[in-house]
């Protein structure tokens, strides 16, 4: 399964993001952002599956919670930023 | 013990408050500080508390609900964000030292919109007149902690919005029993304790942020750790250091209790008790009761004084009879100055959703016995 990380500026914002996705029936997990994607040191991300990403971005746009940055979790464990 | 000092802190809490606190002590770490179970559990509880408060107080973004230690903490953040030395600030004549001391410390020009007790129209007119001279901020309590007077804060907030003057509401005595809606007031900040009408534990409070605040404390937030200035986003900007998770877990249960009961039900009960106390106490010789002519102007707080008897002595006597009231100036000399009770102080009776008519009856009997000594 391929996953994406939606990087959020704060834990509370990540919780709002995850709650909006869950309300739309999209499974979302909150985790601390890996250092590789975290520019400022310590942030939280919301993990969604590839098949849900497009719908998730739509839901978040409608909810007024636009993602700051999104990363693809690569097969080798690396992260690749997705241009929105 | 008959506890009639809920304006200081409510002591009778819904039992689920203490249970949630005990659970938190053993099972909750710091929200956002780790990915492990106990950190996640803390994060979920903190978020649930923000959301519950946001829904109760008309906030669309739960991150604008900030945890504080008490209302004083929140008021200090709000005041120090908006007020600088020499700024003209308009306040009511019923403010607590939590408002007036920071203003004095900053060196603000304090203008008091003074009106008679329980005169809502006069209070509004006094604010309108005071604002003709402009103001950097307006600060007003919703309910006087001494007299229970409900100030016309919706109208005062409207005056502020029309003049684009930031409005700070002290909801210490109203949160949990009166409608407090940020979406209707448009306040810059609303500060409240968690341990009074919201039935949370001591050491909890909330600051609702309609404006961008300046931190009072700086330190670790579990976010943006590489930056040496505080995060520019809420709630992290104002929540440096480890959270009071037992307190937040208890506060969540307190807010849930208030929402399930309904603020209007709680207010109706408290008003009925206060009217009973006013009626029975005022029938005693030499007892002066400060009761609103119109019941809708008073919440669950009532002051009285006894001719020829020191209020502190009366409070001590009642305490020895197992009745907890508060005597003196109630950290609000400005309110006593406005009401003309600064020299004597008053005995304050304040109720919660857990008091009963029988308890108020026993209060009157105890005061009656005191008069016969």
> CB distance A30–B40 less than 8 Å?
yes
- Residue B363 is predicted with a pLDDT of 98
Q: How many CB contacts within 8 angstroms connect chain A with chain B?
A: 62
Average confidence (pLDDT) over B141-161: 98
What CA–CA distances, in Å, run from A61 to A23, A68, B83, B117, B363? 14, 11, 37, 50, 58
The pLDDT of residue B217 is above 90: yes
The model carries a pTM of 0.96
The pLDDT of residue B49 is above 90: yes
Give how far B238 is from chain A: nearest CA, Å: 13
Average confidence (pLDDT) over B224-245: 96
Chain B CB contacts of A42 below 8 Å: 222-226
Average confidence (pLDDT) over B226-254: 97
Q: Give dist(CA B177, CA B136) in Å, integer.
A: 30
- Residue A39 is predicted with a pLDDT of 83
Chain A CB contacts of B43 below 8 Å: 11, 15, 30
Give how far B171 is from chain A: nearest CA, Å: 24
Computed over every residue of chain A, the mean pLDDT equals: 94
The pLDDT of residue A77 is above 90: no
Chain A CB contacts of B51 below 8 Å: 19
Chain B CB contacts of A44 below 8 Å: 32, 223
- Residue B333 is predicted with a pLDDT of 96
Give how far A34 is from chain B: nearest CA, Å: 11
> CB distance A32–B231 less than 8 Å?
no
Give how far A9 is from chain B: nearest CA, Å: 8
The pLDDT of residue B338 is above 90: yes
The pLDDT of residue A1 is above 90: no
Q: Which of the listed CATH numbers 3.40.50.720, 3.30.365.10, 3.90.1150.10, 3.40.50.10190 matches domain B2-10+263-372? A: 3.90.1150.10
Q: Give dist(CA B279, CA B272) in Å, integer.
A: 11
Average confidence (pLDDT) over B135-141: 98
- Give percent of chain B with pLDDT exceeding 70: 100
Sequence spans of domains, chain B: 2-10+263-372, 15-261
Residue to mutate among A17, A35, A42, with most B CBs inside 10 A, is A42
Of B35, B63, B231, the CB nearest to A31: B35
The pLDDT of residue B287 is above 90: yes
Beta strand spans in B88-166 (E): 88-92, 109-113, 137-141
Chain A CB contacts of B225 below 8 Å: 40-42
Peptide bond into B228 cis (omega under 30): no
The pLDDT of residue A75 is above 90: no
Give how far B32 is from chain A: nearest CA, Å: 6
The token pair that represents B184 in the structure block: 């209707």
Computed over every residue of chain B, the mean pLDDT equals: 97
Instruction: Answer left, alpha or beta for residue B330, where phi above 0 means left and psi between -120 and 50 means alpha.
Output: left
- Give percent of chain B with pLDDT exceeding 90: 99
With contact defined as beta carbons under 8 Å apart, do B262 and B253 qualify? no
Strands B137-141 and B167-170: parallel
- Residue A68 is predicted with a pLDDT of 87
Chain A CB contacts of B36 below 8 Å: none
Tell whether the torsion through CA atoms of B358, B361, B366 and B369 is positive or negative.
Answer: negative
Of B32, B224, B235, the CB nearest to A40: B224
Q: Give dist(CA B303, CA B326) in Å, integer.
A: 9
Average confidence (pLDDT) over B94-119: 98
Q: Which residue segment(s) compose the domain that A36 sits in?
A: 3-82
> CB distance A30–B50 less than 8 Å?
no
Beta strand spans in chain B (E): 2-3, 65-68, 88-92, 109-113, 137-141, 167-170, 189-193, 205-209, 287-290, 301-306, 323-324, 326-328, 346-350
pLDDT in tens, A27-59: 999 999 999 998 888 899 999 999 999 999 999
The more confident residue out of A84 and B329 is B329
| CATH code of the domain containing A38 | 3.30.70.1530
The more confident residue out of A77 and B306 is B306
- Residue B164 is predicted with a pLDDT of 98
pLDDT in tens, B50-73: 999 999 999 999 999 999 999 999
CA atoms within 13 A on the CB side of A51: 4
> CB distance B35–A13 less than 8 Å?
no
Q: Which of the listed CATH numbers 3.40.640.10, 3.20.20.140, 1.20.1560.10, 3.40.50.1820 matches domain B15-261? A: 3.40.640.10
The more confident residue out of B358 and A83 is B358
Residue of A nearest to B236 (CA): A10
- Residue A41 is predicted with a pLDDT of 86
> What ipTM does the predicted assembly reach?
0.87
Residue to mutate among B29, B30, B31, B32, with most A CBs inside 10 A, is B32
pLDDT in tens, B81-106: 999 999 999 999 999 999 999 999 99
């Amino acid at each position: 399964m391929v996953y994406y990380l939606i990087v959020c500026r704060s834990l509370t914002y990540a919780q709002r993001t995850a709650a909006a996705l869950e309300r739309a029936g999209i499974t979302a997990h909150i985790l601390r952002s890996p250092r590789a994607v975290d520019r400022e040191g310590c942030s939280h991300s919301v993990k969604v599956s590839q098949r849900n990403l497009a719908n998730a971005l739509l839901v978040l746009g409608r909810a007024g919670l636009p993602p700051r940055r999104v990363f693809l979790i690569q097969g080798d464990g690396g992260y690749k930023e997705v241009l929105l | 013990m008959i506890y009639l000092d809920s304006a200081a802190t409510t002591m009778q809490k819904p039992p689920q408050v203490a249970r949630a606190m005990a659970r938190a002590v053993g099972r909750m770490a710091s929200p956002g500080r780790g990915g492990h179970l106990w950190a996640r559990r803390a994060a979920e509880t903190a978020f649930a508390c923000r959301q519950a408060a946001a829904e109760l107080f008309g906030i669309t973004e739960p991150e604008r609900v900030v945890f504080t230690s008490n209302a004083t903490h929140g008021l200090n953040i709000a005041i120090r964000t908006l007020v600088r030395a020499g700024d003209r600030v308009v306040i009511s004549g019923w403010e607590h030292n939590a408002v007036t001391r920071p203003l004095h410390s900053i060196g603000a020009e304090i203008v008091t919109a003074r009106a008679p007790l329980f005169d809502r129209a006069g209070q509004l007119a006094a604010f309108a007149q005071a604002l003709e001279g402009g103001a950097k901020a307006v600060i007003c309590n919703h309910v006087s902690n001494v007299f229970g007077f409900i100030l016309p804060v919706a109208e005062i907030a409207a005056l502020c919005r029309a003049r684009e003057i930031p409005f700070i509401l002290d909801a210490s005595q109203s949160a949990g029993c009166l409608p407090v809606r940020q979406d209707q007031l448009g306040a810059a900040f609303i500060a409240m304790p968690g341990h009074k009408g919201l039935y949370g534990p001591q050491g909890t409070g909330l600051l609702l942020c309609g404006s961008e605040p300046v931190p009072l404390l700086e330190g670790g937030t579990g976010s943006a750790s590489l930056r040496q200035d505080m995060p520019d986003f809420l709630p992290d900007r104002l929540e440096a250091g480890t959270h009071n998770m037992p307190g937040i877990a208890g506060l969540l249960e307190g807010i849930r209790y208030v929402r399930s009961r309904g603020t209007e039900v709680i207010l109706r009960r408290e008003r009925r008790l206060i009217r009973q106390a006013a009626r029975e106490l005022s029938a005693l010789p030499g007892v002066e009761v400060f009761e609103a002519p119109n019941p809708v102007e008073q919440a669950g707080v009532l002051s009285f004084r006894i001719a020829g008897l020191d209020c502190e002595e009366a409070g001590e006597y009642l305490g020895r009879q197992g009745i907890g009231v508060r005597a003196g100036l109630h950290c609000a000399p400005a309110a006593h100055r406005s009401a003309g009770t600064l020299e004597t102080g008053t005995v304050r009776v304040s109720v919660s959703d857990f008091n009963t008519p029988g308890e108020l009856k026993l209060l009157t009997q105890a005061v009656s016995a005191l008069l016969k000594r």
